[in-house]
Each structure stands twice: as C-alpha cells, then as structure tokens.
Structure 1
C-alpha cells in the first residue's frame, strides 16, 4: 500500500482584504488598511498548488468561507436589508464589518488538526476543526470549516470528524499551525508534536506578556484524546514565550517538520535540548535530521519577516525533499545564504523552490499557512472527494472562475458596497458545483 502526504490549500476568497485584525501578527497589523488584490491573491495561491502537482505531488483544494457573514452581523444587532446591515456596521462598528468580511480561512493550516490513520487507535484519519477563539474574525469559521472537511473527506470508513473544542480561551486551539508530525515514512506510526503557548495552570512568568499565546496545553491534550493518540505518538512542547512576544504567533512561524527532518530556530522552544532527546527516545528507529538555525545565522526578526520557517518541506517522488519558500526568503540575504547552505549538507533536502505569495504574506501568512497536510494511504486517497483534487482541468476551471468573479482591488470603502455580497455569494455558489461540496454555505437571500 502506498502512502502520500497531500497538501490541501485554501482557495483565497473573493473578499480578501487587509484589515489588520490579527494582533500579534506583525505583517497583518503593519499592512492594515492597504488596498488588496483578491484576484491576484487567488491566482498566486493556485499557481503554487499547480507547481506542486507539476512536481508529481498530489494537491487538494479547500473552499473559502462564506463572506460577508451577514448572520453574525445580524446577531450583533444590525438589521434591515443586507445593504442596510452593511451601512450600519460600517458606521457604528467597522471592526465587526471587517471581521465578517475576513478571508482568513485561506490559511488552512489553522483549519484543523489532522492525525493520520497510522497513529490513531481506530485506524482512521481524524479531523478536529480549530475553534480559533483568540480572534473574533476567525472564531466564526469552525462550523463551516467542519462542513467543508466533511464534504471533502466524507467516507466514515476512513475518516473521523470531531466537533471543534468548546469555545473558551482555556481550550484555545489554532489547528495544524501548532502541530507537526515526524516519522520515517508517511505510512509508519509517527510522533505528533503539539506545540502550545500557555497552560491554564501555568505560572505567569512562563507566558508571553506583549502578545497572546493562542494555543493552550489543555486544547492540545484534548485533541490528542479525541484522535486516539497515546504517550508514544503525542508529545506536548511549550513554545518559547519570548518569541511569541516578538511576533511568532504560531509555531509554524518558527519551526517546520517533514518525515525525518525537523527545521527550527534555536529560540523556538522553551526547552530545545530536552525536546530533541524526547524525539530521539520516541522515534528510536528513525534516521532523524535536526536542522537548528542559530540567532547568529538568521536573527529572529529576519526569520519572522521572511517567513523562513513558514515554508513547506515536501517529499518528492525520488525520496528527496524540497523546501517551498516565499520569494521574501530569496530577498533576505541572511535567509537566502542559510537556504543555500542547507543544500550542501547531508540531509534529505536537495532543492529550494521560491514562490510569489506576497498577497498572502502581506496579510501575515506564508506558504505553510496556506495548506493543511493530510497523510493518506492510496485507499484513503481514493475515498477523498475527487473534485477537490487538483489537475490541469480543475486548475484551469478555478482560474477562469477567479477571473469571472473576483475584483482586482478592494479597500474598506468597497466593503460597504452591497453588490459585493451578490458577487461573493454567486462565486461561492458556483464553487460548490465545481468542487461538488453540497450545502456547506448558509446562504441568505440578498436584499
């Protein structure tokens, strides 16, 4: 039986805008209120997906959320026609309007935590949507995320779906952005690394003080229980609170792993030496490669600015690995020098490929933010909704769909335009037919 790691990238939604809603995410806040280009953003994401299929990898697509979220705006007391709701929200509570227009579901690394069947007690692939309670604009995503995941991975023989954790900060869960998996081969039992920023029972000095720690230990432990993991397949690791305060809002901004390679900054974790010992102990038969980057090689500011660690590490069909990096890495001298040097080392990483995803980067998400990793056997892959797997036909269809429905610029004033509701809902309605998703969106009549 063959096994694959499939990247399911989020399609950038038609309301992609720069609202600066994510406190703690330096890029998001620094680009707040700039004019965005939804069409370019969607095409940049699609181009990255297509390039991975051209490398011989299997690539999937996850649909965006329905935006604007008029249901939430009405729950906040705005009433009347849809146009009136937008007008009132823009005047009285613009932050709520921005939140309900957010296209942040494009970063599917936050969509869910996924455990492959090789690790779980019942031998199924398990999915738990992230509750994302730390940010209002993301906390309204989980129900639709769960529906999209069920429409994509719908066969209960192979896939188990859990409801998102209770929506309380004690169980704050940010999904796969704080989770990675190490193994010898994708089909072998592996070690799932759950990285958390704080614990509800923890001393205050072990928590960040400037920016919030979004992932809790209690949430990570709950997901491990739901997924049927045990002490041999789950390891809980505390992120260094000092790096959270420097803009490392998720672990995938400072570390990334793939199979037997673990690539991380020396300041990423609170107890890095103990972590390496624990990984070696729990994966005794795995030929591990630890690539630790020192502050002297790449300082933390450059790592965060370039998203050096928010790269994807993918395994190619010949068994070697490639790093999928944003062009920002290529444009940052210390980072480019480090990546060049990695290619000279005795590790599985033999290529670095650069992609322009600047529309996403300016909003605080690099290549790794854009994808949800799902390790699948060939039988499990055959049970995935085939209409969500990218090929030349789907790539062309989605590009044409973007050209038909997306604007090439969007500013705050545009969000008050009721015609944007019609444009967005029409686009998503058509997308459900393209991807054969069924009724995943709670569409409302446009008035």
Structure 2
C-alpha cells in the first residue's frame, strides 16, 4: 500500500571542527563569512534542535555522523610528513588554505552526500544509493569514501539496499548528490518522476557557451546525472533532466536546492530556477501520474539576491497526514521583508497544499551557506526497509538526549581558523567520533578506527 512508504530525513551532525574558512567558490554566504569565529557546539545543538522539533511534529528523523577531521591522511598524501603535531604545524605554516580544507565540517550538508532512488521506483524493488564524488572542491572531494562506509553501515541489508560506487572523480562526471535531484510523485508510495538539474554539459558544451554561467562554476554535469539514473535503473519515463539557469548560478545558486524544492506533486521554485522553465514543467506534467502543482515565485516578488541571502528555497517541504504540507524555513526568511511577505501572501494564501511555515534557527550553518534543506538527506523507505536499518540512526528522545550530552562533552564553543593547527583539537575530534560511532552502533567507519583494527 502507498501508506507503507514514508520519507525519513537523515540530518548530518555538525562536526567538532565546524569553522568559517570561506572554502566554497560560488557560495556567497561561505565566501562572505570566511575568517569569522565559529561556535561548533552551538552549530551542532542547532542542528539537533531542528531534528528534534521535526521528530516531535511526527516526521521520521534520522542522524548521520560527521567525517573524520582534520583529515591527516590527506595532508600526508600531499607531502606533509612527521608526527601529527608536525604535520599540522607544517600545513599551517606552508599551506593554511589546505589545512582549512582538511578541517572542513561540510559533511553536515548531507543533501550533497548521495543520490537515492526509492525501492518503489526501482525494478529490483531495492533502495539504490550512489555517494556523490563532490570532485568540484577539494574539501568535499575528501568525503565520499567515508560517506559510502557510513551509508553501507546503516543501509546494510542487501535484500533491501543496493549500493553503487561514486562516479569517476573527473570534471565530466561532477556529481553533487541530492542537492540537484528532486523526486516528484502523487504520494511517497506512488511511482515517482526524478528531476535531475545540471549546471553544465561536459561533452558538447562548446555549442551552448552562450548559456554558460560567467561568474561562478557550474558544479553538476548532465553526464553525472544521467549516469546516476542509469546506475539506479531508471528509464526515460521516470526522469527529467533540466538545466539550471546560469544567471542563478552567477547569483550564488550553486545547487538547485538553493532555488527550488519539491515534495509530492508540488514544485516550489523561483522563476529563474531553470533555463527552460516551460519545457521543464511540460515534461514533468507529461510523466507524472498526478497533476503537477507548480508554485512559482516571480523575481519581482523575491530577487535572486534575496533568495540566496534568505535561503527561502533551501527549506524543507514536508507532507502531513491530511494532505497539507509544512515548509520549514531558516530564520533569515523572517528577517527579509520581501521574502516573509511572499511566504504569507503568495505561498500560504495561494492555491497549493502548503498550509504552514515553521521557522528554525540554523544560523551557524547558514553563515557557511547551508539552510535546513542542505542539512538533510531525504530517504523514502517502506516499513520493511525502516525495520531493516542497522545501528541506531533513527532519532528518538533517548538518542537525542545522548547526542546533546555528547556534543556538550566534546565540542568547543569557539573556533577560529588559527585554532585548526591545534593538535589537541585533532585529538578531541577523534575521541568524539569514536564515542559517536558506538552511540549510533555503526561499527568502524572512520580511517583511524580501521587503522587500529
């Protein structure tokens, strides 16, 4: 039955090295806040508070652990030799930007972790998982191997879950995960159509040079999106490939989830989300088994600049039992007059299922360019698949209390870029992650744990 399937949001825990290094070209918030002092403890607690609020509202909620940081193995691979202390000191002195990259807590934005196809849409009736290669930036390129181990540890049963390798880490197959993928359907348990949004075409792109972004790089390729769809066995009638508008990319819309969000048959999007807006909507209408409900926000109501600064579209759109939907927005939406007015007058007062707007404070994440939607990986699971999950990754009151206590034991309340060279920070992080893997019951997923096996 269709009600057997439910969407579970797996949020990434913010890591102990959460900092503002300004690493992400094209991410306006990350670039503008580079060098500020961060508060890892507050960031982690804000993320957990969002998870708990949604859990208490009746939305199933999962947890994914952060990466091992600093990544001393990556530094050693780049020629920094000696003890951990020596490696950190040399990197800080000779290549501080590389040190900042290997300390990045960017895995908190799990919308980039992978692309998933629910078993409802797969011919073998298994959930299919492909970790994103994230090759467009060094600090994120370090993530896929651990991400794959974490996902394999939680979605472990091969009778229910199929895991695929990340795509080749080359510019032609640049894959940024579910941040550029939206599944639209009548209901989570009904057949879905998968909307893949790409920024550029790797082969034959020269003929489309006039529609390429001019200021910031386009991260997702058409070829990567097509390859993931092939891995998951999706056919032509199940997929739509749409190009992101280059003007949006140049305004700081580095992923589609910064300019559009979909849920069920609803697609909430800015008028400059897609290069071919009419063609994209027509193809979705032709392939969906239910009427598409497009909710278009015009540029005259919300400019691209306001969309990026408020992260209106990087919100969570969630289904309710009565058929209505709730939109979870960051606090910055409430602070922007045109965005807040649009939410009240255009969305809530419009002819669409969005009946409630909930504001969540995720400021620590927002300053690095990640809103509520960045922090979660959407996974549609049947009741049997939920029962087959390994470990203790589904949030409940007991796990929430344990995770809050864990954060308060291990996390600093102040972290400046110069603190990243502190060898004590590295030791603190490893101790925290070792304890976390036991709390979540996921086994040895980190390089330091496997090295000591």
Would the TM-score normalized by the shorter structure come out above 0.5?
yes
CA deviation string 1:4-55 (max 9, x = no partner): 0100000000000000000000000000010000000000000000001111
What is the alpha-carbon distance in structure 2 between the residues aligned to residue 295 and residue 344 of structure 1? 18
Q: For residue 309 of structure 1, what is the aligned residue in structure 2?
A: 313
What is the alpha-carbon distance in structure 2 between the residues aligned to residue 232 and residue 29 of structure 1? 40
Q: CA deviation at 1:368?
A: 0.3
What is the alpha-carbon distance in structure 2 between the residues aligned to residue 226 and residue 424 of structure 1? 35
Instruction: Pick from 120, 125, 128 the counterpart of residue 126 of structure 1.
Output: 128
Instruction: Pick from 11, 14, 22 the counterpart of residue 9 of structure 1.
Output: 11
Query: In structure 2, the residue corresponding to 1:121 is in which secondary structure?
Result: coil
Q: How does 1:247-326 map to 2 (within 5 A)?
A: 247-283=252-288, 285-326=289-330
What is the alpha-carbon distance in structure 2 between the residues aligned to residue 416 and residue 190 of structure 1? 47
Instruction: Pick from 374, 378, 395 the counterpart of residue 379 of structure 2.
Output: 374
Asked if residue 35 in structure 1 is aligned to residue 37 in structure 2, the reply is: yes
CA RMSD of aligned residues (A): 1.1
Q: For residue 89 of structure 1, what is the aligned residue in structure 2?
A: 91
CA deviation string 1:199-222 (max 9, x = no partner): 011232221121000000000000
Instruction: Pick from 206, 214, 236 the counterpart of residue 209 of structure 1.
Output: 214
Asked if structure 2 preserves the Cα contact closer than 8 Å seen for 1:111 and 1:145, the reply is: yes
What is the alpha-carbon distance in structure 2 between the residues aligned to residue 169 and residue 216 of structure 1? 8
Query: In structure 2, the residue corresponding to 1:28 is in which secondary structure?
Result: helix
**TM-score normalised to the size of structure 2?**
0.97
Query: In structure 2, the residue corresponding to 1:437 is in which secondary structure?
Result: coil
Moved more, 287-296 or 45-54: 287-296
Instruction: Pick from 65, 68, 77 the counterpart of residue 67 of structure 2.
Output: 65
Instruction: Pick from 198, 223, 237 the counterpart of residue 242 of structure 2.
Output: 237
Q: CA deviation at 1:343?
A: 1.2
What is the alpha-carbon distance in structure 2 between the residues aligned to residue 106 and residue 412 of structure 1? 18
Moved more, 133-142 or 338-347: 338-347
Aligned length: 445
Q: CA deviation at 1:268?
A: 0.8
Instruction: Pick from 318, 327, 331 the counterpart of residue 327 of structure 1.
Output: 331
Q: CA deviation at 1:190?
A: 0.6
Q: For residue 354 of structure 1, what is the aligned residue in structure 2?
A: 359
Q: How does 1:190-205 map to 2 (within 5 A)?
A: 190-200=192-202, 201-202=204-205, 203-205=208-210
Task: Tell me which stretches of 4 or more aligned residues in structure 1 moved more than 3 Å.
Answer: none
Q: CA deviation at 1:288?
A: 2.2
Q: How does 1:332-411 map to 2 (within 5 A)?
A: 332-341=336-345, 342-411=347-416
Q: For residue 189 of structure 2, what is the aligned residue in structure 1?
A: 187
List gaps (5 residues or longer) in structure 2. none
Query: In structure 1, the residue corresponding to 2:157 is in which secondary structure?
Result: coil
List gaps (5 residues or longer) in structure 1. none
Q: CA deviation at 1:121?
A: 1.7
CA deviation string 1:134-169 (max 9, x = no partner): 100000100000000011111111111111000101
What is the alpha-carbon distance in structure 2 between the residues aligned to residue 27 and residue 190 of structure 1? 33
Q: How does 1:33-182 map to 2 (within 5 A)?
A: 33-182=35-184
Q: For residue 224 of structure 1, what is the aligned residue in structure 2?
A: 229
Q: CA deviation at 1:317?
A: 2.9
Q: CA deviation at 1:386?
A: 5.0
Asked if structure 1 preserves the Cα contact closer than 8 Å seen for 2:312 and 2:333, the reply is: yes
Q: CA deviation at 1:120?
A: 1.3
Moved more, 328-337 or 115-124: 115-124
Asked if structure 1 preserves the Cα contact closer than 8 Å seen for 2:391 and 2:442, the reply is: no
What is the alpha-carbon distance in structure 2 between the residues aligned to residue 4 and residue 438 of structure 1? 26
CA deviation string 1:215-274 (max 9, x = no partner): 000000000000010001111100011110110000000000000100000011010011
What is the alpha-carbon distance in structure 2 between the residues aligned to residue 187 and residue 243 of structure 1? 33
CA deviation string 1:172-223 (max 9, x = no partner): 0000000001000101111000000000112322211210000000000000
Asked if structure 2 preserves the Cα contact closer than 8 Å seen for 1:55 and 1:316, the reply is: no
CA deviation string 1:60-95 (max 9, x = no partner): 000100000000000011011100000000000111
Query: In structure 2, the residue corresponding to 1:232 is in which secondary structure?
Result: helix
Query: In structure 2, the residue corresponding to 1:128 is in which secondary structure?
Result: strand
